[in-house]
A and B are shown apart, each in its own frame.
Chain A
Amino acid sequence: MDFTFAPEYVALRKMFREFAEEEVRPLAKTIDREHRVPHETLKKGAKIGLLGVPFPTKYGGMGAGETGYCIMMEEFGRVCTSTITNIGAHIGIGAMAIYLDGTEAQKNKYLTPLASGEKIAAFALTEPNAGSDAAAIRTRAVREGDSYFLDGSKIYITNGPIADIVSVFAVTDPSLGARGGVTAFIVETNWEGFKVGTLENKMGIRGSSTSELIFDNLRVPQENILGQTGLGFITAMKTLDLGRVSLGAGCLGGAQAALEAAMQWAKARNQFGASIAAKQSIQWMVADIACEIEALRSLVYRTAWMADSGQPFSREAAMCKLYGSEVASRTINKALQIHGSLGYSRDHPIERAWRDARISEIFEGTNEIQRTVIASELFKEIGVRVRS
């Protein structure tokens, strides 16, 4: 057993941290206030490969796999959750769906410009009546000759307003439901019939753009079917598995940054004639936070290693998402407590971190769904089917 990172990952982490500290941290507050991640920052990152971390170099990616991608999400998660939400929707689910199930021609046409950051991706699964229950998708795709016509709408789509290419999930056969009836399509947002609807006014991750997408008799050529007709649900699940690992990594970064900030404050803050770091109440909070972070770190990178080495990792991915998001919320909450009133100030980064952390318990499959996935996989091992 060897738990050390290969030297290329150590060097990669150094670069990610430097970029995050120099280019993103100074903007994090503005990103939150002005509700946008500056295009120039993304472009600067794209120049050094940040928008294609896990993809092979032959598609213009960095070739760093899920492990490298998790390292980036952790390092950027330390400074700005809005930024990792944008990058995560682009790499982790939008482009990832094309990488996992696209044909060679689709990868050359779509993945390459996405990995180089020339184009931005989004992933459109959620609908007003279909979130965790993906089988209730209403968006219809009707075949006419060698084309499909899409009608319907999607909501809460990260990168919706800025995406050039969207992986869209639509019903091709209503009689078959989620398994067999849903197909994935690669949609270019400049096609006729594609519209961006209302923007969400969110509590946190305010810099990431989230919107409704509307398809009005949108023609998609048959060659843009992603994966096989009727197997879109499987494409979605495979993609989300990888997204959940990196989501856990982003939470890890947020929790780690909160711990470091709380310790710096505990060292600086004097009460009753001594630094509050000397108080046992503070020490216990710090110790508890650190334990949870360490457990999460092991879980995230072990799961990333499983994914990179071709092992099944679906259950662990659900754990990364579930545990990661709850660790982030819990530890950032405690870290805010250590900061006292200062942490409640709109001007302090921990206030933003606290708001930003909450969404991770909800999106990319609620934590309730993750628990269901984990439990059903566990029961399956003893021959019990518990999934409805």
Chain B
Amino acid sequence: MKIVVAMKQVLDPRGFTVNRKAEKIFVNREEWITNPADLCALEAALALKDKLGAEVVVLSGGPARAGDALRDAWARGADRAIHLSDKAFSTADGCVAARILAKAIDKVGAVDLVVCGDRALDTGAGEVGPRLAEALGWPQVLGALDVSVQDGHAHAVKPDGAGYAELEVGLPALVTLAAGANQPRYPHGGRIMESYRQYQPEAWTAPDLGLSEDELKPLVDQRGQSFPPERQRGTLLDSPEELVRLLKRNRVI
């Protein structure tokens, strides 16, 4: 079985503060982490590898720093890491990103299952997964908490109303995983050392994937950004009695 994991880096949210009043984002410490949902997708792929045996191939776009995320994935147990690295990729929107990934998955060849996060922590758009499944012409399950494979089918568990639903799709298929779906394993320290000292992720460019300039033109252009209104600070109360008094005064009870 061959599993592809698509991932990207996001800015560590612990390193910046959002000032809604000034409509500004202050980056105190620029640190990049693997998108948490993508890391859950990687864990799901590695768990399948442990159970059934599989080749796990990780794909990521982004500038040179994406190499850190790829090496991290390799250190956690992926077999192959490929950096989709081309200046022309830098303007990609969700649609173009899906197009690039679809071509790369074609090039990897004989892929049975693609997993990725259901949404990125930064844009929160959640569109690359479904667009990628469309581009590949494969069935998809979005926002799964668990995925298993049996008899040429993927079984995915996802929240459904107040409970859960188990969905079955024929392979090849695409499954996106929700952040928090599982507890990603730690990379082995020795593999971390090796990932920098001996290992080099592969790099594929637009010509490698046979992508023309036209195919890489984004469909969306961003005109500006706005911030949601600043939230009002709550009041700290000292005792339940005070709460009751306030509720009475405001005629809530």
Chain A residues within 8 Å of B, Cβ to Cβ: 6-8, 11-12, 15, 18-19, 47-50, 53, 57, 61-64, 68
Contact = CB atoms under 8 A, between A and B. Distances in A.
Nearest to B183: A22
Contacts of A19: 186
Nearest to B31: A14
B196 A48 contact: no
24 contacts: A7-B68, A8-B192, A8-B195, A11-B187, A11-B192, A11-B195, A11-B196, A12-B189, A15-B186, A15-B192, A18-B186, A19-B186, A48-B188, A49-B188, A50-B189, A53-B189, A57-B190, A62-B193, A63-B190, A63-B193, A63-B194, A64-B190, A68-B189, A68-B193
Given A7-B68, A8-B195, A8-B197, A15 B189 contact: yes
Residue of B71, B188, B189 contacting most chain A CB atoms (<10 Å):
B189
A48 B187 contact: yes
A12 B189 CA distance: 6
B68 A48 contact: no
Contact of A62 (B68, B72, B186, B189): B189
A63 B193 CA distance: 7
Nearest to B71: A11
Contact of B196 (A8, A47, A57, A62): A8
Interface string B173-196: 000000000000011111011111
Contacts of B72: 11
A12 B192 contact: yes
Nearest to A55: B190
Contacts of B68: 7, 11
Given A7-B68, A11-B68, A64 B186 contact: no
Contacts of B188: 47-49
Interface in B64-81: 68, 71-72, 75
Contacts of B190: 49, 57, 61-64
Contacts of A50: 189
Given A8-B196, A11-B195, 19 more contacts: A7-B196, A8-B193, A11-B68, A11-B72, A11-B196, A12-B189, A12-B192, A15-B187, A18-B186, A48-B187, A49-B188, A50-B189, A62-B189, A62-B190, A62-B193, A63-B190, A63-B193, A64-B193, A68-B189
A7 B72 CA distance: 11
A12 B193 contact: yes
Nearest to A63: B193
Contacts of B71: 11
Residue of A19, A49, A61 contacting most chain B CB atoms (<10 Å):
A49
A53 B192 CA distance: 12
A48 B77 CA distance: 12
A265 B196 CA distance: 38
Interface string B15-45: 0000000000000000000000000000000
A180 to B, nearest CB: 39
Nearest to A8: B196
Contacts of A7: 68, 196
Nearest to A56: B190
